[in-house]
Structure 1
Amino acid sequence: MKYQPTRESVTSHPVPQWYNDAKFGIFIHWGLFSVPGYAYSEKGKSIRDIHSETDEFKGQKYNPYAEWYLNSLRIEGSPTQDYHRKNYGANFSYFDFKNIFAKESCNMDPRKWAALFRKSGAKYVVMVTKHHDGYCLWPSRFKNPYIEKYQSERDLVGELTDAVRGEGLKMGLYYSGIFDWSFKKNPMNSAARWLDHYLPSDQYAEYAFHQTEELIERYHPSVLWNDMGFPPQCDLDRLLADYYNAVPEGVTNERWIQRHLPKGISLEEYADMLVKQGEITRLDDGIHGDFLDPEYVDVNGIPSKKWEQTRGIGMSFGYNRFENPENFLKGKDLIFMLADTVSKNGNLLINVGPMADGTIQEAQIQPLLETGEWLSVNGEAIYGTTWCTPQTGRTNTGREVRYTRKGECVYAIVMDDHPSGEICIHDIPVPVGRKLSILGCQTLIEGKAEASVLKFRIPDGVKGPAYVVKIE
């Protein structure tokens, strides 16, 4: 099928089966912000916690995202500004980090990253090619008009793309479509300033459109992951038609909103109006995109369309050298998050934030390896499954249960660090007696599933942090 540059055509694009089946992906935030590797970190608070205590704009002063370093640096009196001046001096520009990053990034070995991602059990990878600071991780034909050599001479995107595909995984690319702080100097710490970044110059609109087209043509990404929105001057239907025609099995997220300033109203008035309507931080246009992409939020029930949960292993996407190790997800946390997300028809895109030299912290590596080890035994209950009703439950011992389905088989994923004894689960999604087994366990289960009640005894040798009962 050839897609036309029309709303009707591009919105007819189906979610490809590989994406429905993959379930687990790796996000990578790496760039100039990895050099200072700093963000305000207080008691493990997430971005949602901070926003709930203030608002989306005042909270920018204490943003826990290290990849937002430049915006935080521009806010007077912010912890990031204090840190920067003490460690680099008031006259050291953020953009000067490009020289340090160019040197440090020479040490990055894309094959090591790709091997780790395969071992984690992930089926696809999404790499940030340009974040909000505007620095590009590939030698783009379209140069930044304000900062000389503001891109990597080494094709970091291309090298990782080849390495990831060499491991048998799908490769996706992230691009910050609407925010580029090398084009705008004001910090985003008020509603009006936030909105101003949604109204870019024609020069930037052309730049962003051409760079996105270049990424599509050059790398054919299986996932085109746009962030925050896209310039209103651009023909979005044309862009997505070009993408779907170049990569028929490609998939895009929903963050494509294009904002226009209505005639006869000031920027400040329009910003206030959007705040009152609860629309100021909306990222989607309700039309484009193949999947929803909530960030650092818990999702209840089944969303209206395919979705992907994304977050860091810690409270930042970019590397934060000062983040408390207690903030990082442990292996069992990541496994539960994956099971919970998949049971609700979602994918999990978990982020790693490497250091400038490409080193990934052990605190980020370990939960990935533990998840991969668990998936090597229990992946049957994750990959290629669908959701069923109910999605959740509890055992008689209070352990959380998540359900998935594949054909006639139902999988009960039970979170339990030390499995043992007699287990009973009510309201399981099967009405009649079935054969029971525990994935990875050679011993037959003594038990039965009937009248929506599952009863069984856990045999010796079953290990935590989660085991899977297959009901067939």
Structure 2
Amino acid sequence: WASLFQKAGAKYVVLTSKHHDGYCLWPNEHSLGYNSFDGKANRDLLGELDDAVRKKGMRFGLYYSLYEWEHPDYPKNVLSYVNNYMMPQFKDVVQKYRPDIIFSDGEWDRNSSEWRSEDFLAWLYNDSNAPIDVVVNDRWGGETRFKHGGYFSTEYDPNSDLMNEEFLKRGWEECRGIGKSFGYNQNEAIEDYNTAKELIRLLVDIVSRGGNLLLNIGPKADGTIPEIMLDRLLEIGRWLDINGEAIYGTITNRVFQSDNIKYTLTKDRKTLFAFVEDFPEKNLLIRGVNAVGKKPIECFGSDKTLEWENKGSNLIIQVDNSFLKDLQPSPLYVLKVPVLPYLDKPKVQVVIKDKIAEVAVTSYRKENTYKYEIKNSMNGNVSLKYKEPFKVTKPGILHIQAMNENYLTSETTILPINILDKENGLIRKTYFGQLESCAQMVNQSYNEKNIVYNFNIDSNDKDNFGYVFSGYISIDNPGMYKFRTTSDDGSRLFIGSKLIVDNDGLHSKKSVTGSIQLKNKRHSLIVEYFERGGQETLDVSWKGPEFEWQAIPAFILFQKSD
């Protein structure tokens, strides 16, 4: 197994130490003999693979399910299950095998406090035998996925609309099988399996957006890996042998793709890797990219180079017949493009006291120039030079960029300066109960009423509650606006009496968008939200005629109309 995974180009391997059925792949007293060592195999499979993987120079991790289907204490006596079984067993596997990665699962059934996840993680990082750089995922309680823990973990959902900037900050990983199942499924036909081409393109798509791919392999009962899985892994490995430089150790470009071309970037940001599906017969156009220097562009797997020229903001690569003639078939071709590195978006701190805001660039570097503008609308042209922290007495939207002649200008940091008056805010009504829809909730009496300035969920509210936010939104730039709610469970958004976003019902985290033409005035705004159980999420954002998706600033929200 370890040799195969190495040939496939894997850098780490994660084994299922115990799944929901409770069967363990290592000897431990808590399993009461229900493990691979005390059973017919009479082998410590976790330990053997651990040794083999590390000898091949790969990192080793383990998957562990917090809950079990058939344990006598679960769910009848959760406290006993966690304290006397799950917690000591989980610690045992960590102490024995010192994993580099821990993939926790089965968390959705309870919140993190019931699983004692904070206690376990405190022990892991302070007292355990695990490596100092041990990495954990985000599955530690019904409320934690995509919010807490280490890296975020998607599952058969690499293009989830739940993804946001936090995924890039933390890192994320898509976990899925080669087919439609985790583990070996004898009922899967060949058409149920992804081709090597599809898997390679999936890998590139995930890496281009800052993620890793954890590809599940399901051995048969005798321990052999099905031929179709073996073939897929070896084909991925052969592609990575040629193109791995564009995958391993790279970072995201600030633009993930243009047209069908996806990108990765070296850590010094001086080399862009462009993943191309096919070459045209004459010129290849790459939008939004300029190359630098005088050297021709390389294509991995070819001994021929390509001439190029910048045309405006685009790159034109000359594709001649001799290059096309010698080109070998590939799921994706990789071009190595020298580029000017870009500057990071400025980090800005806004502190408001006594209706005066102090604005400071916390990432300030003297070799860079910072230009900014503050406007009452979301649209701004960068024009003023930042020299030191400054004060602002009126609300508005800050736009600021970093510039340097040796770098590409940074993306714009956009922040609201929420200097508020007593007229600002929203009226929030809170409801309690086992709700199934917003429509049901608004037909019952509310329990609490207060003034708030955003659409946040109170930290004390976990399950069986709902909110209705009502007020007015002030528009000073007429045009078409889009509104979006991302929620778990349901939500709805109204402008006036018109339902703009219908994201209602019981569901996991989901985004729904709607649009409306708005005039220059205050418009009635209502946002409804409810949470039944599990994870709770509410995010309300908007997009205007001249600005991209962002949170609605508090200074344009009012309790009353004009």
Indicate the TM-score class for this superposition, using the shorter chain for normalisation.
0.5 to 0.7
Instruction: List runs of 5+ in structure 1 lacking aligned partners.
Output: 1-112, 186-195, 259-281, 395-399
> Are positions 1:138 and 2:19 aligned together?
no
> Are positions 1:253 and 2:137 aligned together?
yes
| Rounded Cα–Cα distance in structure 2 between residues aligned with 1:376 and 1:180 | 40
What amino acid maps onto 2:104 in structure 1? Answer: N
> Are positions 1:308 and 2:162 aligned together?
no
| Structure 1 residues 31-430: aligned runs within 5 Å | 113-144=1-32, 153-177=42-66, 179-183=67-71, 200-229=78-107, 232-245=113-126, 246-257=130-141, 284=145, 286-287=147-148, 289-299=149-159, 303-305=165-167, 306-394=171-259, 400-406=260-266, 407=268, 408-416=270-278, 419=279, 421-430=281-290
What amino acid maps onto 2:69 in structure 1? Answer: W
2:549 alignment partner in structure 1? none
| Rounded Cα–Cα distance in structure 2 between residues aligned with 1:462 and 1:403 | 21
Structure 1 position 349, deviation (Å): 0.6
State which drifts further: 454-463 or 313-322.
454-463
Change over 3 Å in CA distance of 1:421–1:147 after alignment to 2: closer
2:306 alignment partner in structure 1? 445
What amino acid maps onto 1:120 in structure 2? Answer: A
RMSD (Å) for aligned C-alpha atoms: 2.7
Structure 1 position 120, deviation (Å): 0.5
Structure with greater proportional strand content: 2
Structure with greater proportional helix content: 1
| Rounded Cα–Cα distance in structure 2 between residues aligned with 1:144 and 1:466 | 50
2:331 alignment partner in structure 1? 465
Contact 2:82 2:115 survives alignment (8 Å): no
What is the aligned residue count? 318
- If asked which structure has higher relative contact order (CA below 8 Å, sep 6+), I would say 1
Contact 1:393 1:425 survives alignment (8 Å): no
1:263 alignment partner in structure 2? none
What amino acid maps onto 2:60 in structure 1? Answer: M
| Rounded Cα–Cα distance in structure 2 between residues aligned with 1:198 and 1:386 | 47
Structure 1 position 366, deviation (Å): 1.2
Deviations 1:186-209 (A, max 9, x none): xxxxxxxxxx85973413443111
Change over 3 Å in CA distance of 1:330–1:205 after alignment to 2: farther
Contact 2:23 2:31 survives alignment (8 Å): no
Question: Secondary structure of 2:212's match?
Answer: strand
Change over 3 Å in CA distance of 1:432–1:232 after alignment to 2: same
Change over 3 Å in CA distance of 1:330–1:145 after alignment to 2: closer
Structure 1 position 237, deviation (Å): 2.6
| Rounded Cα–Cα distance in structure 2 between residues aligned with 1:441 and 1:326 | 32
**Higher-Rg member (1/2):** 2
Structure 1 position 228, deviation (Å): 2.2
Contact 1:146 1:182 survives alignment (8 Å): no
| Rounded Cα–Cα distance in structure 2 between residues aligned with 1:298 and 1:238 | 31
Deviations 1:23-76 (A, max 9, x none): xxxxxxxxxxxxxxxxxxxxxxxxxxxxxxxxxxxxxxxxxxxxxxxxxxxxxx
Contact 1:139 1:152 survives alignment (8 Å): no
Greater than 6 Å deviation, 4+ residue runs: 145-148
1:270 alignment partner in structure 2? none
Name the TM-score, length of structure 2 as normaliser: 0.53
Contact 1:390 1:427 survives alignment (8 Å): no
Change over 3 Å in CA distance of 1:174–1:198 after alignment to 2: farther
| Rounded Cα–Cα distance in structure 1 between residues aligned with 2:39 and 2:79 | 19
| Rounded Cα–Cα distance in structure 1 between residues aligned with 2:34 and 2:58 | 36
